[in-house]
Amino acid sequence: MSTVEKILLEFEPETRNLLPVLKRISAAFGYVSQKDAQKAAKYFDLPLSRVYETVSFYDLINIKKQPELTIEVCSGTNCAVNGSFEIIREIENLFHVKAGDENNPRIKLEIISCLGQCGEGPVVVVNGKVYTKVTVSGVHGILKEWV
């Protein structure tokens, strides 16, 4: 298991490495905690606020601990015309959640932007695993794998 210190030492402390480092930390631990952000700030010799400026901007970096189950549904144009909003409504009803609600400690359902796999939409990502050509009925089977 890698530690934040180890990840930091893989990179030179130059600001151009800040984004790659934060992305790596988020991927390794699920999110960038305040403690880790402080460590990064110290390593790069930047104010903590400056690290947060960057860390809070990007979709692929989390700053909060993620729930056990995160479901992301692409709502890009191509996925949308193939029914991604029906899938979203199906999942909302299934788990009694609302898309975009960040306060449920167990499940997060998120509407995301195009992933570039539009030819195989609708695309659903569950805890990082990508499912393509998902249908309203098929989504039940996919989610069963995870709950």
Which listed option, another protein, ligand FES, none, makes contact with residue 81 (CB within 5 to 8 Å by class)?
Answer: another protein
In the complex, minimum distance from the CB of residue 135 to ligand FES, in angstroms, rounded to a whole number: 14
Site string for ligand FES, 123-142 (x = CB under 6 A): x-------------------
Beta bridge partners of 111: 73
Establish if 54 lies at the interface with another protein (CB under 8 A): yes
**Are 90 and 122 within 8 A, CB to CB?**
no
In the complex, minimum distance from the CB of residue 38 to another protein, in angstroms, rounded to a whole number: 17
List, in sequence order, every beta strand (DSSP E) within 1-143: 69-74, 107-112, 124-126, 129-131
Specify the residue, 2 or 113, whose C-beta has the smaller distance to ligand FES: 113
Tokens of 2: 């890698």
Q: In what helix (H) or strand (E) does residue 21 lie, and over which residues does it extend?
A: helix 18-29
**Are 76 and 111 within 8 A, CB to CB?**
no
Specify the residue, 46 or 115, whose C-beta has the smaller distance to ligand FES: 115
